[in-house]
């Protein structure tokens, strides 16, 4: 962010900040869910079929309520949206690639989305991002996050695998895929299905 400190209008650095803000928002919501679970005497992974979403846990506030009551989370999205608008206002002169813009738009929409229509628009934008630039790590990260947030676990795992195939050293995708595989294993175990291979694959994340 040093470049942005020197020139507040430097669009490529604004893009990097958008991605950092969106990552922080995603992590903050996870923190809020964890706190809500802990206050209820529960723990991550203890919900039905491994579902930790407070929105689907009886007696616990949903994600929207958790965010609304938090000082940090809403501001993160506001700041990300402001940076994105500033980049878009520069048009082609911004120096930010179309794939990056599609990623930022899609991830912001995914985190804000309240309808199936918005989620599909976000998914299409993120697919456009990784199709336009197959090396765009944050595009895979955002798309996997979107799929996982709506229980499309196999789709989310497949997105992570696509990203890892492009950049084998990008640790966040390895870790996200491991968590998704554990969630899927928990769901399948609850349904009486064999899950040994999924657990082995999740454990292998520490040996890439």
**Residue 11: pLDDT band by 50, 70, 90 thresholds?**
very high
Q: Give the pLDDT score at 42.
A: 74
| Range of 5-19, 127-141, 187-201 with top mean pLDDT | 127-141
Nearest 5°: phi and psi at 27?
-65, -35
What pLDDT was estimated at residue 196? Answer: 83
- Cα radius of gyration (the chain): 18
Q: Return contacts of 77-84, CB within 8 angstroms, 24+ apart.
A: 77/21, 77/22, 77/25, 77/108, 77/111, 77/112, 79/21, 80/17, 80/18, 80/21, 80/22, 80/25, 80/104, 80/108, 81/108, 83/14, 83/15, 83/17, 83/18, 83/21, 84/14, 84/18, 84/108
User: Could you tell me the pTM of the whole model?
Assistant: 0.84
Q: What is the dihedral of CA 60, 63, 65, 71, to 10 degrees?
A: 120
Q: Is 60 exceeded by the pLDDT of residue 66? A: yes
As a whole number, the mean pLDDT across the chain is 86
pLDDT in tens, 126-168: 999 999 999 999 999 999 999 998 889 999 999 999 999 999 9
What average pLDDT does this structure show over 12-18? Answer: 96
Which pLDDT does position 38 carry in this prediction? 86
pLDDT in tens, 175-186: 999 989 988 998
Indicate the pLDDT class of residue 48, thresholds 50, 70 and 90: very low
- How close are the terminal C-alpha atoms of the chain, in Å? 30
Residue 118 has pLDDT above 50, yes or no: yes
Query: According to the model, what pLDDT value does residue 197 have?
Result: 84
């Amino acid at each position: 962010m040093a470049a942005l400190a020197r020139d507040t209008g430097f669009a490529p650095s604004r893009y990097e900040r958008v991605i950092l803000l969106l990552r922080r928002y995603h992590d903050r919501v996870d923190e809020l869910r964890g706190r809500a679970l802990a206050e209820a005497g529960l723990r991550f992974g203890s919900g039905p079929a491994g579902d930790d979403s407070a929105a689907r846990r009886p007696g616990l506030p949903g994600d929207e309520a958790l965010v609304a009551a938090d000082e940090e989370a809403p501001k993160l999205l506001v700041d990300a949206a402001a940076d994105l608008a500033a980049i878009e206002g520069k048009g082609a002169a911004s120096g930010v690639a179309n794939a990056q813009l599609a990623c930022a738009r899609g991830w912001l929409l995914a985190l804000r989305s309240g309808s199936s229509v918005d989620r599909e628009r976000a998914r299409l934008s993120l697919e456009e991002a990784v199709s336009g630039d197959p090396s765009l790590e944050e595009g895979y990260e955002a798309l996997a996050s979107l799929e996982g947030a709506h229980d499309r676990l196999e789709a989310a795992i497949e997105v992570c695998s696509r990203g890892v195939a492009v950049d084998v050293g990008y640790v966040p995708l390895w870790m996200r895929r491991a968590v998704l595989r554990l969630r899927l294993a928990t769901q399948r175990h609850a349904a009486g299905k064999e899950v040994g291979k999924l657990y082995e694959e999740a454990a292998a994340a520490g040996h890439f």
